[in-house]
Amino acid sequence: MTQVLATTVVVASLYALLAAGYVLVYRATRVLNLAQGDMMTLGGYFLFLVATAAPGEPARAIAGAAALSALAGFLIYRLLMRPMAGHPIFAAVLVTVTLGILLRAAIVLVYTDRIRHPLGLLGLANPARPLIGGAVVSTFDLFTVGAAAALFAALFLFLRFSPLGIQMRAAGEKPLLASQRGINFHLVFALSWALAGFAGALAGILYANNVRLDPSLGVLGLKAFAVALVGGLDSLGGVVPGALIVALVEVLSVRYGDPLLADVSPFLCLLAMLLVRPWGLYGTKEELERV
């Protein structure tokens, strides 16, 4: 049972990192960024790029990849999403779908579909770590949990106490009032995209070192999308319980049910949530109506 719990926390942490990207962009811009999974993949390939250029320097490679991903998020907003201002939201969502396809194609073009393992390039190992109760996880599993905890703590502090974070919240919650107060919307939106890129990159970097890196990793983004909806699409706080619920159901279905259910269990959770509470655990009802 402890192994089930440990695996649940690890999987939930990965989903939470990804789902944070969906929520950050949605809260600020009301756009569903369906390219979030591919932004995770991009983060993994940025790591591979930097690690190839400077092998054996993990800190530089990870920091470089995360920074490049945040920059990519910013540029996506500046070049693709900002021109969509004033157009229907669904058009912007379609742009993100196209963006995902383009990112995947670009990655295949540059790196082919070969499975990569950047861990060796970084000069790192990923040994097993026994936990209390007999459970075992990998070192990068622990990093994934740590990264998710750190990201959510940092986002909480940033959104609650920093002037820019407060502006982000204001722009998301009361856009008209915020604009009358002179908040720079484009800066806020660009920042939310950059943060989404950063969160996706964290997931990609950790997964690439822990499991593998290939252009198809983006499909994990679909499961994380279910997590964001279960938690409430406009609630960053909802991501954590949403991720834990989805991950627990997924792990339990493998352990005690049919392993094939693992693939559909996030969507079963989503379906159940939509039937009971369509706006998610911590989402707001008004937001759902607006969607």
- Does residue 143 interact with another protein by CB under 8 A? no
Q: How far is the CB of 114 from another protein (least distance, A)?
A: 5
Measured in degrees and rounded to the nearest 5, phi and psi for residue 136 equal -130, 135
Of these, 85, 157, 219, 271, which contacts another protein (CB under 8 A)? 219
| Nearest Cα residue to 140 out of 151, 130, 132, 129 | 129
Binding window for another protein (CB under 8 A); candidates: 20-28, 81-89, 158-166, 207-215? 207-215
Work out the number of other CB atoms within 10 angstroms of the CB of residue 269: 22
Amino acid of residue 140:
F
Amino acid of residue 128:
A
Of these, 89, 254, 288, 291, which contacts another protein (CB under 8 A)? 254
State how far the alpha carbon of 23 is from the alpha carbons of 56, 92, 229, 234, 235, in Å. 34, 16, 9, 6, 7
Structure tokens at 44: 């993994």
The CA distance from 224 to 270, in Å, is 11
Q: Is 128 helix (H, G, I), strand (E, B) or coil?
A: strand
- Does residue 284 interact with another protein by CB under 8 A? no
Give whichever of 196 and 217 is closer to another protein, judged by the CB atom. 217
Binding window for another protein (CB under 8 A); candidates: 4-12, 67-75, 170-178, 234-242? 4-12
Give whichever of 112 and 179 is closer to another protein, judged by the CB atom. 112
Work out the number of other CB atoms within 10 angstroms of the CB of residue 3: 15
Of these, 137, 171, 188, 196, which contacts another protein (CB under 8 A)? 137
Q: Which residues does 81 contact at the CB level (< 8 Å), separation at least 6?
A: 29, 31, 92, 95, 189, 193
- Does residue 15 interact with another protein by CB under 8 A? yes
Residue 108: half-sphere exposure toward Cβ, Cα within 13 Å: 12
Of these, 106, 108, 166, 291, which contacts another protein (CB under 8 A)? 108
Binding window for another protein (CB under 8 A); candidates: 75-83, 212-220, 267-275, 278-286? 212-220
- Does residue 148 interact with another protein by CB under 8 A? no
Residues 115-134 as x/- pattern, contact with another protein by CB under 8 A: x-x--x-------x------
- Does residue 7 interact with another protein by CB under 8 A? yes
- Does residue 14 interact with another protein by CB under 8 A? yes
Contact 93, 81 (CB under 8 A): no
Residues of this chain that interact with another protein (CB under 8 A) are: 3-4, 7, 10-11, 14-15, 105, 108, 112-115, 117, 120, 128, 136-138, 207, 211-212, 214, 216, 219-220, 223, 251, 254-255, 258-260, 262-263
